[in-house]
């Protein structure tokens, strides 16, 4: 339980670090459960189409806050759901 608690705290910390960079560009966002033990976080973001380029730049800025031990994957745009 201690290990799981530490992992969860780390995931929350990393998620917040990314949200600090991208949340101002999101109309809404949803922090979703991770799908496997290798994922640190999953965030679905609803953004305005005219902010897509700014959002992509913010994702790269957020990724730069992490070392090479992390891999960022993002995709879209997708229709809102």
**Percent of the chain's residues with pLDDT above 90:** 84
pLDDT of residue 81: 65
- Is 27 a residue whose pLDDT tops 90? yes
Question: Residue 1, exposed/middle/buried by CB under 10 A (0-12, 13-18, 19+)?
Answer: exposed
Question: Which is nearest to 60 in space by CA: 13, 4, 22?
Answer: 22
Confidence of residue 53 (pLDDT cuts 50, 70, 90): very high
Confidence of residue 10 (pLDDT cuts 50, 70, 90): very high
Helix (H) or strand (E) holding 46: strand 42-46
């Amino acid at each position: 339980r201690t290990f799981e608690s530490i992992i969860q705290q780390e995931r929350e910390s990393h998620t917040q670090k990314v949200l600090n960079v991208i949340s101002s560009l999101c109309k809404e966002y949803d922090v979703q459960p991770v799908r496997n033990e290798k994922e640190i976080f999953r965030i679905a973001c609803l953004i305005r189409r005219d902010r897509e380029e700014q959002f992509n730049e913010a994702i790269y800025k957020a990724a730069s806050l992490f070392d090479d031990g992390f891999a960022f994957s993002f995709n879209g745009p997708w229709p809102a759901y």
